[in-house]
């Protein structure tokens, strides 16, 4: 049986084409861009097509560099647990598997307009959420304010929740309550994601 080919962080186009593509510029004066995509080119270089690829967020490089390491560590820890090859942010185009991509965008959206001094707090609070809670936060935010230029509603609420809530130093969790219905659905979402049937976008 042929070994499955993974790109970036857990992305296997043979399983699902849905992913978030992180475009990291070589010129640090340009922003890091995040695109929702449902296609993958077999060529070495990916291209962005305006009518097909949805821009979800933009971050200045100095903010991206503050979260790139924590994201990589979290994703690789879970990929190792699932016996999937780990990833890195090397290169200009880095795909992120669809569920991991949801979690990443929750953190990206939270810090896009924040004071850089609050990013460490946002990262710690983001770590305090379970994957299922991050997926729920993505779904709620994406439904009403998931475009690159959206700065309203849930998008704004994420920033306040992750950057301005105090961190419990003993537990590294945010004091921000997720609805009880989400907690009850954890097992179902976990089962769906493990079977490859979880719905992302």
Where residue 184 falls among pLDDT bands split at 50, 70, 90?
Answer: low
Identify the domain containing residue 133 by its residue range.
Answer: 19-189
Residue 11: inside a domain:
no
Whether residue 113 lies inside any domain: the answer is yes
Residue 4 located in a structural domain: no
Integer CA distances (angstroms), 128 to 22, 52, 96, 167, in order: 24, 34, 21, 9
Q: Note whether residue 194 is domain-resident.
A: no
Tokens describing residue 96: 């992120």
pTM of the model: 0.82
Give the chain's domain count. Answer: 1
Domain assignment of residue 137, yes or no: yes
10 within a domain of the structure (yes/no): no
Which pLDDT band, with edges at 50, 70 and 90, does 182 fall under?
A: very low
Phi/psi region, residue 83 (left: phi>0; alpha: psi -120 to 50; beta: rest), is left
- Average pLDDT (100-118) is 97
Q: Quote the pLDDT of residue 33.
A: 98
5 neighbors 14 (Cβ within 8 angstroms):
yes
Residue 116: inside a domain:
yes
Give tens-digit pLDDT for 9-63: 999 999 999 999 999 999 999 999 999 999 998 876 889 999 999 999 999 999 9
What value does the mean pLDDT of the chain take? 86
Q: Is residue 8 part of a domain?
A: no
């Amino acid at each position: 049986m042929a070994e499955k080919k993974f790109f970036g962080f857990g992305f296997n186009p043979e399983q699902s084409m849905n992913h978030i593509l992180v475009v990291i510029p070589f010129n640090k004066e340009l922003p890091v861009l995040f695109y929702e995509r449902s296609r993958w080119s077999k060529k070495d270089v990916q291209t962005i097509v305006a009518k097909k690829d949805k821009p979800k967020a933009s971050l200045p490089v100095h903010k991206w560099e503050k979260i790139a390491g924590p994201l990589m560590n979290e994703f690789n820890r879970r990929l190792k647990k699932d016996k999937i090859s780990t990833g890195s942010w090397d290169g200009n185009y880095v795909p992120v598997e669809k569920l991991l991509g949801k979690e990443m965008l929750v953190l990206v959206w939270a810090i896009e307009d924040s004071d850089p001094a609050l990013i460490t707090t946002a990262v710690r609070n983001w770590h305090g959420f379970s994957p299922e809670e991050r997926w729920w936060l993505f779904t709620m935010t994406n439904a009403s304010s998931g475009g690159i230029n959206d700065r309203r509603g849930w998008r704004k609420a994420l920033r306040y929740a992750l950057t301005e809530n105090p961190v419990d130093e003993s537990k590294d969790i945010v004091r921000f309550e997720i609805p009880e219905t989400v907690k009850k659905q954890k097992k179902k979402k976990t089962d769906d994601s493990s079977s490859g049937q979880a719905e992302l976008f």
